[in-house]
Amino acid sequence: MQYQIKFLNMKAAAFPAGKSKRPARRSLRGIFLAGMVALAALVMTSGSAVQAADENVVNIYSYRQEILVRPLLDRFTEMTGIEVRLVSGKADVLLQRLKSEGRNSPADILLTADAGRLHRAQEAGVLQPVRSELLDTLVPEQYREPDGYWYGLSLRARPIIIANDRVDPGELTDYEDLTDAKWRGRICVRSSNSIYNQSHIASFIAHHGVAAAEQWAAGLSANFARKPAGGDRDQIRAVASGECDVALANTYYLARLTGSNNENDSAAAAAVSIIWPNQNSVGTHVNVSGAAVTASAKNLDNAIKLIEFLAGDAAQEIYAGTVNEYPIRDGIALAPVVASWGEFKADDLELSLLGKHNAEVVRIADRVGWQ
């Protein structure tokens, strides 16, 4: 079967209002014409909505790179015959586009990473809740929004990354250890603007309160080796090069470096190791990639079918084996590189709480000077 993934134009449609060259006049003729125009617009809008709903398609706005989601979407099309149309872009750009397009948006699904981003979309009013007994069965409760606004589809852990030749694994047990003065000038972490760091701090608030979260953020930032810059892979590269000795990074990025065709990147991955922190307490911080149905969805049934598929075993095997992420439940085989890191206790915090604490997290970062 020929799999079909179409890429839509990223340029949003504009609907400029026409301007008359004559001054507005109150007349029956003007009112009649205005009414006819409104009626015609209503008929055209209703007709296009019905047509879109009748099409055997589903439209996705995706923050995930096309190369990562293609195997999943190919399999869905193969199994269902439903055509998948994909728009890829940066998370903030896609959210703004959904807000600007409103009910005219062609998107049926928003696919993105991090519970904090999913919460932002929910707060922006561009999502709708859906109920599916299958999704409630497949997705553990802590990895989905309680009212059905979004569902987690894969997991990323955020452990401590250390230099093999400069750090003894026994020196670090918990995230809290990173605030010790012995690590002064030795830690690399990306900017506090990163949603990954924001959600991590939010987990501290959820577990221990605002004061404890601020104390941790202050202690960590006091030990930075340099001004935060770059993404998670850059933090791992910095540890490998000796710019710092310790970093925080999502496991997915370490897997990508390990399997890279770039010799410098694969060498950087080989020069570092993972420490699974907080194994005797709350567990290692984890987050999700997830999906949500948009408020404007014209192909609602197909959208739910796709999310159900992505939470099912066939897609979970692809997430784990090809995308190098952790599946959302037990019983799914891991990719060899991921399995090589060993088992760990994951934090079972309800991830919908992370976005709710985001505003306080931003204030904490400002107060402690975490740029």
- Among 20-24, 46-50, 179-183, 294-298, the minimum mean pLDDT is found in 46-50
Shared fold status for 5-11+47-155+288-336 and 157-285+343-368: yes
Structure tokens at 147: 């009212």
Q: Which helix (H) or strand (E) holds 100?
A: helix 91-101
- What's at 361, amino acid-wise? V
Q: How far apart are the first and last CA of the chain?
A: 50
Identify the residue whose tokens are 């918990």: 174
Number of alpha carbons in the 13 Å side-chain half-sphere of residue 349: 26
More confidently predicted of 37 and 134: 134
- Among 56-70, 226-240, 306-320, 330-344, the minimum mean pLDDT is found in 56-70
Q: Name the CATH topology of 157-285+343-368.
A: D-Maltodextrin-Binding Protein; domain 2 (3.40.190)
Please state which architecture CATH assigns to domain 5-11+47-155+288-336.
3-Layer(aba) Sandwich (3.40)
pLDDT digits over 57-91, tens only?
999 999 987 777 888 999 999 999 999 999 999 99
More confidently predicted of 44 and 311: 311
215-218 long-range contacts (CB < 8 A, ≥24 apart) are 215/179, 216/175, 216/176, 216/179, 217/364, 217/365, 217/368, 217/370, 218/179, 218/367, 218/368
**Sign of the alpha-carbon torsion through 85, 90, 91, 95:** negative
Is residue 2 pLDDT above 60, yes or no?
Answer: no
Per-residue confidence (pLDDT) for residue 64, from 0 to 100: 82
pLDDT digits over 178-203, tens only?
999 999 999 999 999 999 999 999 99
Phi-psi group of 239: left, alpha or beta (phi > 0 → left; psi -120 to 50 → alpha; rest → beta)? alpha
Q: 10 Å Cβ neighbour count for 24?
A: 7
Between CA 252 and CA 260 the distance in angstroms is 12
What is the rounded radius of gyration, in angstroms, for the C-alpha atoms of the chain?
Answer: 24
Identify the residue whose tokens are 């707060």: 123
Q: Which residues pair with 187 in a beta bridge?
A: 224, 246
Between CA 48 and CA 363 the distance in angstroms is 45
Structure tokens at 60: 């996705």
Per-residue confidence (pLDDT) for residue 65, from 0 to 100: 78
Between CA 97 and CA 109 the distance in angstroms is 13
Structure confidence at residue 31 as a pLDDT band (50, 70, 90): very low
pLDDT digits over 352-365, tens only?
999 999 999 999 99
- Among 1-15, 147-161, 327-341, the minimum mean pLDDT is found in 1-15
Structure tokens at 126: 């561009």
Per-residue confidence (pLDDT) for residue 262, from 0 to 100: 97
Pair 110, 294: CB distance under 8 Å: yes
Per-residue confidence (pLDDT) for residue 68, from 0 to 100: 79
Mean pLDDT (the chain) is 88
Structure confidence at residue 234 as a pLDDT band (50, 70, 90): very high
Per-residue confidence (pLDDT) for residue 55, from 0 to 100: 75
pLDDT digits over 116-172, tens only?
999 999 999 999 999 999 999 999 999 999 999 999 999 999 999 999 999 999 999
- Sequence ranges of the domains in the chain: 5-11+47-155+288-336, 157-285+343-368
Is residue 288 pLDDT above 70, yes or no?
Answer: yes
Per-residue confidence (pLDDT) for residue 36, from 0 to 100: 38
Pairing of strands 83-88, 57-62: parallel
* Mean pLDDT value of segment 270-281: 98
**DSSP secondary structure code for residue 23 in this structure:** P
